[in-house]
Structure 1
Amino acid sequence: MELKTTKYSVDGAVATLTLSRPHRRNAWTGRMHTEVRWVLEQAEQHPQVRVVVITGEGRDFCVGADAQALEGHTSKGGYDAGTTADLAMPGYGIVPEFDQHFAFMMALDTVTVAAVNGAAAGVGLVLACYCDLRFAASGAKLTTAHGPLGLPAEYGLSWVLPRLVGITRSNDLLLSSRKFLACDTEGWGLFNEIVDAGRLLDRVYEYARDMAARVAPSSLATTKRQIYLDQHRDVGTAVAESDRLLREMIPSPDYREGVRALTERRLPQWPPR
C-alpha cells in the first residue's frame, strides 16, 4: 500500500507508526484509518518486530476527525467511515470481543506503545487509550471531544477509559468533554510516564528496546492476551488458563534460551517470531 497519511519504519525489534498529516495536525480520515490497520498488520507479520511505537508527526499526536470529514457526515445525512471493504484485519479472529475497530489492537501479538507528543482529541485519544502502554509529553492537550459535536463516546472509549482511570475521572472526561493537559493526569493511570516533550521519543524507544531485548516474544504476546482476556473471566478461569499456558510454553525455544541467558548472565538472543 502507498502510505499517504502515515509513515512506517522498522529498526530491529521496534517499529514506528507515525501519523503524518502535520498540515492538518494529523487529523483522522478514512484513509488514515485504513493505513493504520495496514501498517499494524505489516508489523504483526514481521518476524522480528516485537513493539510498535505510535506517534504523530510535528507538534500534535492526532486532533481527532478531520473537520472536512465531519462536514461530510452532515451533507450526506449520516455517518460515512470513509473506508472500503478491504480493510486489513490484524488481530481479528482471536476472540469475537476484539473483532471491532481499535479493540483489535488488544489481540495483536505485538505490543503497541503510544508516544503522545502533542494534542490528542476524540479518535486521537481513543487510539492512545487502546495502546498497551502510553507515554505523553507533559504539555500535550487532551479531550474526548465528542460532546460539543452531539456525538456518543467513540469506539468504546466509554469501556476502556474507566478501566484506565476509574469511573469518577472517566465520567468527568466523557461527560464534560473538557480539555486537560497530560501533566494534569499524574497518578491517574492514564499514562505510564509523563515527560518533557524533548525527551519523549528517546524515553519511549529506550523503554521499547529494553522490553524487546529482555522479554521473550512468546511471553510478550501471551501475557498481553491474558491481560485483556482475563478482564472477561473469573479468577478461577484465569488461574486455570495460566496453568495450561505454563505447561504449553515450558518446552518452547524461548524458554530454553531464557534459562540459558539467565544462567550465563547475558541478554537472550531470541529466535524470530
Structure 2
Amino acid sequence: MDLKVTRLDVADGIATITLNRPDRLNAWTGRMHTEYRWCLQQADADPAVRAIVITGAGRGFCAGADARALEGHIEKGGYDPGTPAELPNPGYGIRPEFDADFAFHFGLSKPTIAAINGPAAGVGLVLACFCDIRFAAAGAKLTTAHGRLALPAEYGLSWLLPRLIGLAPAMELLLSSRIFLAEEAERLGLVHRVLPPEALMPAVYEYAAGLIRAIAPSSLRETRRQVYTDLHRDVRASVEHARDLLDRMARGPEYREGVAALLEKREPRFWPQADAGGASAEELTAHTAPPAS
C-alpha cells in the first residue's frame, strides 16, 4: 500500500506505526483508518516484529475526526466512514467478538503500546484505549469529545472505558466530554506512565524492549487473548481455558528455554538473534524513535 498519512518503521523487533498528518494534529480520516489497519496487519504478520508502538507525528497523537470529514457527514445526510468496501482485517478470525472496528486489536498476536505524545480526542482516544498499554507525554490533553458534536460514544468506548478505569469515572468522562490531562489519566489508571515529552519515546522503546527480551512470544500472545476473551465469559470458563493452555504450552520449546534460563540464572533467549536484526539486549533498549516527519 502507498502510505500517505501513516508510516510503518521496524527496527530491533519493534514496529512503530506513526499517524502522519502533523499539520492537522493527525486528525483521523477514512484514508488514515485504511492505512492504519494495513500497517497493523503487516506488523502482526511480520515474524521479526515482537511488539507494536503506535504514536503520532509532530505535536499530536490524534485530534479526533478531521473537521472537513465531520462537515462532509452533513452534506451526505449521514455518517460516511470514507473507507473502501474492502479493508485490511488485522486480528480478525480469533473470536467473533473481536471482528469489528478497533476491537480487532484484541485479536492481534503481539502487544500494542500507545505513545500519546500530544492531544488524543474522540477516535484518537479510542485508538489509545484499545492498545494494551499507554504511555503519555506530560500535559497531553485527552477528551472523549463526542458530546460536543451531538454524537454517541464512539467505536465501543462506552464498553471499554468503564472496564479500564471503572464505571463512575468513565461515566463522568463520557458524559462531560471534558478535557483532562495525562496526569489525571495516570491517576485514574488509564495511562501507565507520564513522562516529559522528550523522554516519552525512549521510555516506550525501553519498555517494549524489556517485554520482547524477557517474555516468551507465546506467553504475550496467549495472555493478552486470555484477558480480552475473559471479558466475555465467566470465571469457570477462564480457569478451564487457562488449564488447557498450561498443558499445551508446557510442552513447547519456549517453556523449556524459560526453565533452562531460570535454572542457569540468565535471561531467556526466546528467538534467534537474526529475528531482531542481530540486536543485543543492550541494543534493544537503546532503540530510538524513527525520523520525524
Bucket of the pairwise TM-score, normalised by the shorter protein: over 0.9
Q: What percent identity do the matched residue pairs reach?
A: 59
Distance in 2 between the 1:10 and 1:79 partners?
35
User: Given that residues 186 and 192 in structure 2 are in contact (C-alpha distance below 8 angstroms), is that contact kept between their aligned partners in structure 1?
Assistant: no
2:124 matched residue in structure 1: 124
Whether 2:111 is the aligned partner of 1:83: answer: no
Deviation, 1:211, is 0.6
Deviation sequence 1:125-183 (CA, Å, 0-9, x none): 00000000001112000110111111000000001111111111111111111111111
Given residue 265 of structure 1, which amino acid in structure 2 is its aligned partner?
Answer: K
Distance in 1 between the 2:206 and 2:271 partners?
21
Map residues 7-46 of structure 1 onto 2, 5 A cutoff: 7-46=7-46
Given residue 205 of structure 1, which amino acid in structure 2 is its aligned partner?
Answer: Y
Deviation, 1:264, is 2.1
1:209 matched residue in structure 2: 209
Structure 2 residues not aligned, in runs of 5+: 276-293
Given residue 133 of structure 1, which amino acid in structure 2 is its aligned partner?
Answer: I
TM-score of the aligned structures, taking structure 1 as reference length: 0.98
2:279 matched residue in structure 1: none
Deviation, 1:263, is 1.9
Higher mean alpha-carbon deviation, 210-219 vs 260-269, is at 260-269
Given residue 122 of structure 1, which amino acid in structure 2 is its aligned partner?
Answer: G
Map residues 185-200 of structure 1 onto 2, 5 A cutoff: 185-200=185-200
1:112 matched residue in structure 2: 112
2:144 matched residue in structure 1: 144
After the TM superposition, list the runs of 4 or more consecutive aligned residues in structure 1 that deviate by more than 6 angstroms: none
Deviation sequence 1:10-30 (CA, Å, 0-9, x none): 112211000000011100000
1:230 matched residue in structure 2: 230
1:165 matched residue in structure 2: 165
Given residue 271 of structure 2, which amino acid in structure 1 is its aligned partner?
Answer: P
1:134 matched residue in structure 2: 134
Deviation sequence 1:98-125 (CA, Å, 0-9, x none): 1100001011001100000000000000
Deviation sequence 1:198-245 (CA, Å, 0-9, x none): 111111111000011000000000000000111111111111110100
Given residue 180 of structure 1, which amino acid in structure 2 is its aligned partner?
Answer: F
Look up the SS of the partner of 2:187 in the other structure. Answer: coil
Look up the SS of the partner of 1:100 in the other structure. Answer: coil
Map residues 66-81 of structure 1 onto 2, 5 A cutoff: 66-81=66-81
Whether 2:181 is the aligned partner of 1:184: answer: no
Deviation sequence 1:76-102 (CA, Å, 0-9, x none): 101111111221111111111111000
Structure 1 residues not aligned, in runs of 5+: none
Look up the SS of the partner of 2:231 in the other structure. Answer: helix
CA RMSD of aligned residues (A): 1.1
Given residue 121 of structure 1, which amino acid in structure 2 is its aligned partner?
Answer: A
Q: Greater relative contact order (Cα 8 A, min sep 6): structure 1 or 2?
A: 2
Given residue 186 of structure 1, which amino acid in structure 2 is its aligned partner?
Answer: E
Given residue 59 of structure 1, which amino acid in structure 2 is its aligned partner?
Answer: R
Distance in 1 between the 2:143 and 2:44 partners?
30
Given residue 9 of structure 1, which amino acid in structure 2 is its aligned partner?
Answer: D
User: Given that residues 102 and 155 in structure 2 are in contact (C-alpha distance below 8 angstroms), is that contact kept between their aligned partners in structure 1?
Assistant: yes
1:6 matched residue in structure 2: 6
Higher mean alpha-carbon deviation, 144-153 vs 258-267, is at 258-267
Deviation sequence 1:8-66 (CA, Å, 0-9, x none): 11112211000000011100000100011000100111112111000000110000000
User: Given that residues 22 and 60 in structure 2 are in contact (C-alpha distance below 8 angstroms), is that contact kept between their aligned partners in structure 1?
Assistant: yes
Higher mean alpha-carbon deviation, 86-95 vs 58-67, is at 86-95
TM-score of the aligned structures, taking structure 2 as reference length: 0.91
Given residue 54 of structure 1, which amino acid in structure 2 is its aligned partner?
Answer: I
Deviation, 1:185, is 2.6
Count of residue correspondences: 273
Given residue 209 of structure 2, which amino acid in structure 1 is its aligned partner?
Answer: R
